[in-house]
Amino acid sequence: MADNEFGNDQTPVGGPAPAGAEGPQAGVIAQYVKDLSFENPNAPASLQALAGAKPAIDVNVNVGVRKMNDEVYEVELKISAKATAPAQEGGEQVAFVVELAYGSLYGIRNVPEDALKPFLLVQAPMMMFPFARRIIADASRDGGFPPLLLEPINFEALYRAQAQEAQQAGAANADSVSSEDPAPINLN
């Protein structure tokens, strides 16, 4: 086996941590599909209807957080998409519905309370989204439709917008929400 060029005695940028203090640490423990559903309720008519028409697609996203223990949080990214297309007899028909609940476990240590909620509701879903996007695309393609390629989501902007709406609505401010169980963010 080749020798490692990098010794184990590397000093972190900024110097070593003071005695008894560790810096913030966060890492992905596991990622998994909690629930996946694909429905094609009007097949084969829906496949024929989409041959010449572009479907209308309604996408909803929700992020939820659950504390598992003092150092582990589960972040769940729920994405649902419903495609409708013109029906031959007029009106619209459902082409397909896909729903995904994608989970990740994050190990977190020494993260300040004021940074915990933004990490769990912004950074974690940003890391999870590409994997969930691929699963949605594969499910729609495997269902007989073109792959549904979701546009990237700016979770930070949506988080800030929801926080501002909650503040304007007179909802409890972020300080009154327990950091042990951050409230879910709806990104509809």
Is residue 99 within 8 A of residue 79, CB to CB? The reply is: yes
Q: Cα–Cα distance between 155 and 160 in angstroms, integer?
A: 9
Q: How many domains does the chain have?
A: 1
Residues 146-160: tens digit of each pLDDT = 899 999 999 998 888
> How much is the pLDDT for 137?
97
> How much is the pLDDT for 49?
65
Residues 7-50: tens digit of each pLDDT = 555 555 455 555 555 788 888 999 999 999 999 988 787 777 66
101 part of a folded domain: yes
177 part of a folded domain: no
**Share of residues in the chain with pLDDT > 90 (%):** 46
43 part of a folded domain: yes
153 part of a folded domain: no
Question: Distance from first CA to last CA of the chain, Å, rounded?
Answer: 52
100 part of a folded domain: yes
pLDDT band at 179 (very low <50, low <70, confident <90, very high): very low
Domain membership of residue 100 as a residue range:
25-147
98 part of a folded domain: yes
187 part of a folded domain: no
132 part of a folded domain: yes
CATH number at residue 87: 3.10.420.10
> How much is the pLDDT for 180?
43
3-state secondary structure of 8: coil
pLDDT band at 60 (very low <50, low <70, confident <90, very high): very high
When comparing pLDDT for 89 and 107, which is higher? 107
The chain-wide mean pLDDT, for the chain, equals 81
